[in-house]
Amino acid sequence: MILGMTTSTFTLLHVLISLAGIGSGFIVVFGWLAGRRLGAWNAIFLFTTVLTSATGFLFPIKEITPGIKVGVISLVLLALAILARYAFQLAGSWGRTYVVTAAMALYLNCFVGVVQAFEKVPALKALAPTQKEPPFLFAQLILLAIFVALTIVAAKRFSKVGPVAAERDSRRAA
């Protein structure tokens, strides 16, 4: 039992929160690419992504796993993103700091999603049973390349949105 739920129910909740974080994260990234800040979607993304990492720590832990390490890194990135967004109001270089750290946190969620897919989907597990085989490595490399490209473009476009446009976009998205 975890938080009064069976492990399978808690796992389902954790997965649904993770998918909400990934989905809202992509909405936010596409907003950045369009030069919009989408205030409410950013809040949803940050909340669900923090919740994803936090709930990951509630599973029974016997040792430090790669998943725990990813969760810690994600929470550090999210702390920086939240500071950049809410404490420093995206002023100056904090806008790019926000885009980069938030995009990295989204990447880590997607990275874990690929790991889980190769563990749980029989066809993928057959292709890479130990996750050291070329199909798994190729999938992760493609994912990384996509996120590097998206982050670079988003950071450039996001920084061009002025405070008036940012405020208007936040009101419209709220």
Distance CA 84, CA 89 (A): 6
**Token pair for residue 165?**
């446009």
| pLDDT at position 174 | 52
Q: List pLDDT tens digits, range 107-146.
A: 999 999 999 999 999 999 999 999 999 999 999 999 999 9
pLDDT at 65 over 60: yes
Going by pLDDT thresholds of 50, 70 and 90, the confidence category of residue 48 is very high
Beta-bridge partners for 5: 2
| pLDDT at position 163 | 46
| pLDDT at position 61 | 86
Q: What is the arithmetic mean of pLDDT over 150-159?
A: 89
Distance CA 25, CA 73 (A): 17
Rg of the chain taking only CA atoms, in angstroms: 17
Whether residue 15 contacts residue 54, with contact meaning beta carbons closer than 8 Å, is answered with no
